[in-house]
Amino acid sequence: MTDRSAGLRANQPLGAGAMLGYGVGSVGTGVYSTVPGILLLYFATQQLHLPPALAGAAILAPKLVVIFADPLIGRWSDREVRALGSRRRLQGLGIAASAVAFTALFAVPQLATPQLTALLLAASYLLASLAYSFFAVPYLAVSVDLALAEGPAARLIGIRLVFAFAGILLGASGAPALVTAFGGGAPAYRWMALAIAACCACAMTIAWLRPIAAGSNPAPAAAISGFALMRLRGFRAALGVYFLAMAGCGTASAATAYYLVIARARPEADIGQFFLIQIGAAILAMIPWSIMVERTGTARGMMLALGLAVIASLALSMAISWPAILAGAAFGGLATAGIQVAGFSALAAFGRSTGTAASATLAGVWSAAEKVALALGPALCGLALSFGGFRSGVSPALQTDGARFAAVAAMGVVPCGLFVLAAVCLALQSDRMTPQERARRLES
């Protein structure tokens, strides 16, 4: 295959500049994937005055479309890389479109009825999700391409995840701080979105300007479909465990604002501090997790991460004082880092089994599952708040005890149940091989 871009081939040594240039793009993807999960439900209930169940449904519905869209975008990218040797065209489209769509998402006005407002919110979120996918799916596929050359792939995945968690930290702590700095209310959300979109566009453009080409191994004439990938039992099982784990993370993220402000009577400014501790712990744990998962295998690493996630969920359910809450946040960050490292190590292993012809399709299926899982979190949080009698647009001090209990349940009990379910599913699998061993088995 001829590489017509200025990028580096996956089977050539990658310098630090190339890997860092690629990794910077994950700052943008980390922010874009984090801010809606943390603030969109809160924005919908407090600024648009939507009932929490309706708001959660409006956030979940667009992600159900992504289940089909992301694998199709992946196949499109696979065809493009076979023709051009690069995935840059779709990425460039995604950079421009996602900046506009993300800004518009937090500019949705309150319409005549809650149903119309929810419909407009869902449509805006769908456009933002699709625009983001045009960059994220080909971008993620590059690290899967490099799984064909194990040394560069291992380093690149680690660097990418460090930058991704830096983006998550920026989005989780910076976005609430920007809303507060801009004075709160609906206009502050619009200015926050504009500032965030500009930062993300810059980070993603740096990665776009420093391309790493797909591997040069010959590709089959036809790409593999997402349905064919789902017929791989090992892939299906690994994806299911990762889906449940990320749904737990998404539920906790969506519930954080309600948990702190309503259940624990903390000021909104503490939301950013909570995420600063949580994501900071995740960043510090990233390299140790990478080393451990490489030595022990993805299954054992994922099981340990799920155990830490259960401890963190239970701790936050019982924590009252601010130091205890921050300790729970730190444990949650350690668990999230482990889930991410183990999950993407499994993805890289499966990438070696499919080859370059299907790497973006593989990334699209994985990305779609992750996005739906993260969107399921706000939906579950909204249902819990509805059952607890939460009233949209009402001051936290005037919420009922049922609403406060629901916020605690959405922060701790519901995620804990999802983490336990993921651990049970993982325990039922007999495969405890390392990613390299799993790849050799699939290739045989």
Residue-wise pLDDT for 315-357, tens only, equals: 999 999 999 999 999 999 999 989 988 887 887 777 666 554 5
Q: What pLDDT band is residue 143 in, cutting at 50, 70 and 90? A: low
Lowest average pLDDT, out of 33-47, 96-110, 325-339, 422-436, goes to: 422-436
Q: Which run of H or E residues covers position 339?
A: helix 322-354
Residue appearing with tokens 């080409």:
213
Lowest average pLDDT, out of 88-102, 141-155, 168-182, 240-254, goes to: 141-155
SS3 13: coil
Phi and psi for 8 in degrees, rounded to 5?
A: -95, 145
Mean pLDDT over all residues of the chain? Answer: 81
Say what the pLDDT of residue 8 is.
42
Say what the pLDDT of residue 193 is.
94
Q: What pLDDT band is residue 9 in, cutting at 50, 70 and 90? A: very low
Percent pLDDT > 70 in the chain is: 80
Q: What pLDDT band is residue 141 in, cutting at 50, 70 and 90? A: confident
Say what the pLDDT of residue 313 is.
95
Say what the pLDDT of residue 242 is.
92
For the cut 90, the answer to whether the pLDDT of residue 371 exceeds it is no
Q: What pLDDT band is residue 358 in, cutting at 50, 70 and 90? A: low
SS3 212: strand
Residue-wise pLDDT for 69-78, tens only, equals: 877 887 787 7
Say what the pLDDT of residue 5 is.
37
- What mean pLDDT is predicted for residues 310-316? 95
Positive/negative CA dihedral, 201, 30, 278, 37: positive
Q: Which residues contact 228 (CB under 8 A, 6 or more apart)?
A: none
CA nearest 59: which of 297, 281, 353, 379?
379
Is the separation of the CB atoms in 212 and 118 below 8 Å? no
Residue 226's identity, in one-letter code, is: G
Say what the pLDDT of residue 15 is.
58
Residue 381 and residue 146: Cα distance in Å, rounded?
37
